[in-house]
């Protein structure tokens, strides 16, 4: 997989891409990153990439010419062009899995109050990471890259994404490691019992409990069997957890 990023802050993007699991994936050749400094296409002696909004108002708007110049060669190279934008399609597990099937992505990061509307003509899709305000598209692009690259075959231990909370639709069960007792908190004995069947059942129930307590909205899209329903009934007697 190849991922290009267009930004006025290439150093902000390149650092994280060289670090941890994502950096290792790049070193292993599973993914290739290329970060492009939009200012190389800036206008005039000051390499300007922004200007005042027509019609007036606060803040600056990104000019279309530098973005066109940066995006055009990526489009010609066959990239799917993704604009990071607060008004874009919301990133979720489904969208991350869809983007992970695309062999060549180019993520375009804006700044300021936004960009000239005509830039949208060159992009294939627009993605937001959620309903909160940030100062530009770079951190959102890194979130997209992190969510997508870990799904590329070989990047992480294969079994661990079947197990992922968002793959099952449930939140994660509680995890423990050494020591066996920390202060007054022992590890739940079932985890030390060696009974794999009982461990699996406990984990499923704790995942159900946590989801019920913190994100009951998620339960509507979870595949629940009879045992799941029986357990949920012990948490909230009389509450319907049917299809939804």
Between 16 and 114, whose beta carbon lies closer to ligand JEW?
114
Q: Is 86 a catalytic residue?
A: yes
DSSP 8-state secondary structure symbol assigned to residue 125:
E
Q: Is the peptide bond before 179 cis (omega within 30 degrees of 0)?
A: yes
The residue from 164, 172, 201, 204 that is catalytic is: 164
Residue 150: active-site member: yes
Q: Is 72 a catalytic residue?
A: no
Q: In the bound complex, what is the minimum distance in angstroms from residue 117's beta carbon to ligand JEW?
A: 13
22 contact partners, CB below 8 Å, separation of at least 6: 16, 31, 145, 146, 149, 150
Query: Hunting for tokens 């231990």 — which residue is that?
Result: 157
State which residue, 42 or 140, has the beta carbon closest to ligand JEW: 140
One residue of 104, 125, 136, 224 binding ligand JEW per CB under 6 A: 136
Minimum distance from CB of 223 to ligand JEW (Å)? 30
d(CA 70, CA 148): 23
Which phi-psi region, left, alpha or beta, contains residue 152 (left: φ > 0; alpha: ψ -120 to 50)?
beta
Q: Which of 111, 145, 147, 211 binds ligand JEW (CB under 6 A)?
A: 111
Q: Are strands 50-51 and 61-62 parallel, antiparallel or unpaired?
A: antiparallel
Residues 154-183 touching ligand JEW, rule: CB under 6 A, are none
Tokens standing for 38?
């939009």
Q: Does residue number 209 form part of the binding site for ligand JEW (CB under 6 A)?
A: no
Owner of token pair 């069997």: 225
Q: Do the Cβ atoms of 176 and 188 come closer than 8 Å?
A: yes
Write the binding mask 113 to 132 for ligand JEW: x where contact by CB under 6 A, - elsewhere: xx-------------xxx-x
Name the minimum Å distance from CB 27 to ligand JEW: 28
Note if 178 is an active site residue: no
Asked whether 110 and 59 are in contact (CB, 8 A), the reply is no
84 near ligand JEW, rule: CB under 6 A:
yes
Q: For ligand JEW, which is the closer residue by CB, 74 or 84?
A: 84
* Residue numbers at the binding site for ligand JEW (CB under 6 A): 84-86, 110-111, 113-114, 128-130, 132-137, 140
Residues serving a catalytic function are: 86, 113, 150, 164
């Amino acid at each position: 997989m190849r991922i290009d990023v267009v930004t006025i802050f290439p150093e902000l993007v390149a650092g994280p891409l060289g670090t941890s699991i994502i950096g290792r994936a790049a070193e292993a050749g599973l993914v290739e990153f290329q970060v492009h400094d939009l200012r190389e296409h800036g206008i005039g002696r000051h390499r300007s990439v922004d200007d005042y909004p027509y019609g007036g108002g606060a803040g600056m708007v990104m000019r279309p010419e530098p973005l066109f110049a940066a995006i055009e060669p990526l489009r010609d190279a066959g990239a799917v062009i993704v604009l990071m934008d607060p008004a874009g399609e919301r990133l979720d597990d489904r969208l991350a899995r869809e983007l992970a099937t695309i062999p060549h992505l180019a993520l375009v990061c804006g700044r300021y109050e936004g960009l000239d509307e005509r830039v949208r003509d060159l992009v294939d899709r627009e993605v937001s990471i959620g309903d909160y305000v940030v100062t530009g598209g770079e951190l959102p692009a890194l979130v997209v890259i992190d969510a997508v690259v870990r799904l590329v075959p070989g990047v992480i231990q294969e079994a661990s994404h079947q197990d992922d909370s968002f793959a099952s639709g449930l939140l994660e069960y509680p995890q423990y490691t050494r020591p066996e007792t920390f202060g007054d908190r022992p590890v739940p004995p079932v985890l030390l019992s060696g009974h794999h069947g009982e461990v699996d059942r406990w984990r499923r129930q704790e995942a159900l409990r946590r989801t019920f307590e913190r994100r009951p909205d998620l339960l509507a899209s979870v595949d629940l069997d009879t045992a799941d329903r029986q357990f949920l009934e012990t948490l909230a007697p009389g509450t319907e957890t049917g299809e939804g």
